[in-house]
Structure 1
Amino acid sequence: MDEVQQSRTNPTRRRILGASAAAAAVIGGAGGSVLATGSPALAGGNRRGRLRAEPLIPARNRGIILYSVRDRITAAPDDSGVPYGFERVLARLAELGYKEIEFAGYHQHESILGRQITPQEIRKILDDNGLVANGTHTQINAATFTQQMDIAQTLGMRNIGTGADPTNSSYTKDWDAAADLWNELGRQAARRGLRLYTHNHDSAYGFLLDAGPKDANGNPTRSTGRRKLEYFFEKTDPRHVFFEMDIYWAYVARHKHHTFVDARGTERRSLFDPIITVAERTTRFPLFHAKDGVKDSTRPDGYVMVPLGLGAINFQQFFQTIGEPDFHHANWEDDTAPGGAANPGRSLQYADISYDNMSELTIYKR
């Protein structure tokens, strides 16, 4: 039995430890001994009442970005027995338990309908399966933003966003220009009842070049230690510009972006903490990519993507610490889920595993 198959029948060690740690924190806070037999906190004898377990991510807020199953969304009809196209794939995702969908394009194989599907037809499929669109990765620019908002509202989504960083630059002047644009587009979105968001990769949490000697083009060559996206937090209006943290890429950033050269040429170390980054501004993050990875020191990123619950990222700690569970929406993603022609059902199998592990994240309360 391989690792993926085994996860369907046995709880992962990380999930057990995560749940135990959460329970221990509650019991310890109640004055009970975590290891004592017949602890009053567990027995219900404590005057503050019994512990109760609740989902850490409410069922209505568990989603998936369709990029994870893009191979089956865009597949032509075949005889594999695996769902293909929006109608069949979304029905299957609803069967697995997902309640929310984040889009990564609005196209399927034209042979399914003899033409391209329309946003109105996709909306009907969502409604028929009790699914809600919670966001999208589309192009965000001034020229097409009205059209993209039209599609978003047809699909009934609350958030509209992109899978790209606001700029790929390392200079404050370019992040300033991006902030001006996003503030304006954010205001336009708000007037239509939408929230505009951007999604990070690891480079967004790298360091700005904002100090020291200038290069031949007049650009700074060293850093004050300020991170690009954290600067963008400050330059954008919190009422109109929001964020989707890709948790996997945030931990890759922690692994990769930990030293900078200051204005005097001295190398300095600065630890990036994804949890603190969110917790300090938690209501600016309505969406997350709940993407897991195993550590691999042989790779530049330090991680390899796996289905949620099979990796090293502590989602229990992450979501419990940032709080606001009713506000936050978790979308499972695995860029590498598609199995190709050799295993056309793999992405939906990984979706099944990941939903189960997401649903078992638990918080203990009184």
Structure 2
Amino acid sequence: MTETPAMPMDPAERRRLTRRNILKASAAAGAALGAAGLPVLSTSTPAIGTRGLRAEELIPEKRRGIILYSVRDRISAAPDDSGVPYGFERVLARIAELGYKEVEFAGYNQHTSILGRQITPEEIRKILDDNGLVANGTHASINATTFTQQMDIAQTLGMKHIGTGSDPTNSSYASDWDAAADLWNELGRQARKRGMKLYTHNHDAAYSFLLDEGPFDANGRPTRSSGIRRLEYFFGKADPKYVFFELDIYWAYVARFKHQKYIDKRGFERTDLFDPILNVAARGDRFPLFHAKDGNRNSALANGYEMTPLGEGDINFQQFFETIGDANERHANWEQDTAPGGATNPGQSLDFAALSYQNMSELTIYKRGH
């Protein structure tokens, strides 16, 4: 069943609701969670003075992170007179001032004019340590040729997770996902020997439907689907001891918007609505990392959403993080691909980082306590 778009909301009212995170779970969502044997939690903030309740942070302070891709413009910037931090030393110091405790890398280079050469992983590690920051992962190129080198860098930076910003394969076919699983299982074994977890990061296409049913095309490839989604197929092929996942929450909700229909083996169109919460809650121990990326619903756009700073959009992070499992076992990295403001607003990405951290810190769950 296709979702009915919400009526337009006054921007001030939207900001009040999203920033304070008091959206309630829908009845349909609650029923689905209950049917799956998962907890159905209230996402409303209790009245001030309610007795017998204690507040807990949905994302503990030590787990609040940022992927540096969001501030890539300032990491890569040459020294300038804008007054905005540039390069690893200044940008990471600012990130720490904002309150972030963890960072996820998206490359290890800065402008060579800062040092007269490229910075080294050892120098970056010192900057992390000096600012009380922990590297929780990376978006590197994951392949058999360079994996040892990537693990060396990750270990220098103190990472417990090593990953990529792309899917294991872009294919629609099970055979290619089988081959990807074989490679990732082997690389995951290697990572585990070095004390790291190997992870892959999704975009919306990862949750589109696998082509795994006949009839077949001229090359013997299936043209229809059983209804299983690509990454869900990979879950079953990748060894849970060696292969892990970083859910990009924004792209998961884009998948919910975009990938609803498939053609079954008999030629009938079927509808299946993807649920990002159930996707994680059913296998929470396989998702150590998340991209906390927000967006406003806009059905006029191809993706159905437009990226915003965290807490300023329509994605219900309160409901999401309440439901998926132990808060101490997840790392939430804020990301906004569109954060850089360019030459006209060089401070925008760091301003958005500040706003997103504030909103992340306000995510709270209320529990009965002693």
Per the TM superposition, whether the score is higher than 0.5 is: yes
Q: Which residue of 2 aligns with 1:14?
A: 18
Q: Count matched residues.
A: 342
Distance verdict in 2 for CA 1:245–1:20, change over 3 Å: closer
Distance verdict in 2 for CA 1:43–1:72, change over 3 Å: closer
Gaps in structure 1 of 5+ consecutive residues: 1-5, 45-49
Measured in 2, the distance between the counterparts of 1:253 and 1:332 equals 19
Matched to 1:318, the amino acid is: F
SS state of the match for residue 327, structure 2?
coil
Candidates 143, 157, 161, aligned match of 2:159:
157
SS state of the match for residue 87, structure 1?
helix
Q: Which residue of 2 aligns with 1:253?
A: 255
Work out the percentage of aligned pairs sharing the same amino acid.
Answer: 72
1:224 to 2:219 alignment? no
Matched-pair contact (CA < 8 Å) for 2:227–2:262 = yes
Candidates 94, 97, 100, aligned match of 1:95:
97
Matched-pair contact (CA < 8 Å) for 1:54–1:364 = yes
Gaps in structure 2 of 5+ consecutive residues: 1-10, 31-38
Q: Which residue of 2 aligns with 1:273?
A: 275
Taking the TM superposition and a 5 Å limit, the aligned residue runs for 1:133-282 are 133-282=135-284
1:360 to 2:330 alignment? no
Deviation at residue 137 of structure 1 after TM alignment: 0.1
Deviation at residue 216 of structure 1 after TM alignment: 1.1
SS state of the match for residue 212, structure 1?
strand
Deviations 1:215-250 (A, max 9, x none): 111100000000000000000110110000000000
Deviation at residue 14 of structure 1 after TM alignment: 2.4
SS state of the match for residue 328, structure 2?
coil
Q: Which residue of 2 aligns with 1:47?
A: none
Matched-pair contact (CA < 8 Å) for 2:22–2:45 = no
Matched-pair contact (CA < 8 Å) for 1:19–1:363 = no
Measured in 2, the distance between the counterparts of 1:297 and 1:209 equals 26
Deviations 1:70-89 (A, max 9, x none): 00000000000000000000
Q: Which residue of 2 aligns with 1:314?
A: 316
Give TM-score scaled by structure 2 length: 0.89
Deviation at residue 43 of structure 1 after TM alignment: 4.7
Candidates 116, 120, 123, aligned match of 1:121:
123
Measured in 2, the distance between the counterparts of 1:270 and 1:20 equals 23
Give TM-score scaled by structure 1 length: 0.90
Matched to 1:14, the amino acid is: T
Matched to 2:366, the amino acid is: Y
Measured in 2, the distance between the counterparts of 1:14 and 1:43 equals 22
Matched-pair contact (CA < 8 Å) for 1:19–1:361 = no
What do you get for the CA RMSD once the two structures are aligned? 2.2
Measured in 1, the distance between the counterparts of 2:183 and 2:306 equals 34
Q: Which residue of 2 aligns with 1:337?
A: 339
Measured in 2, the distance between the counterparts of 1:305 and 1:35 equals 26
Deviations 1:151-184 (A, max 9, x none): 0000001000000100000000000000000000
Deviations 1:292-321 (A, max 9, x none): 000111111000000000000000000000
Deviation at residue 12 of structure 1 after TM alignment: 2.7
Q: Which residue of 1 aligns with 2:35?
A: none
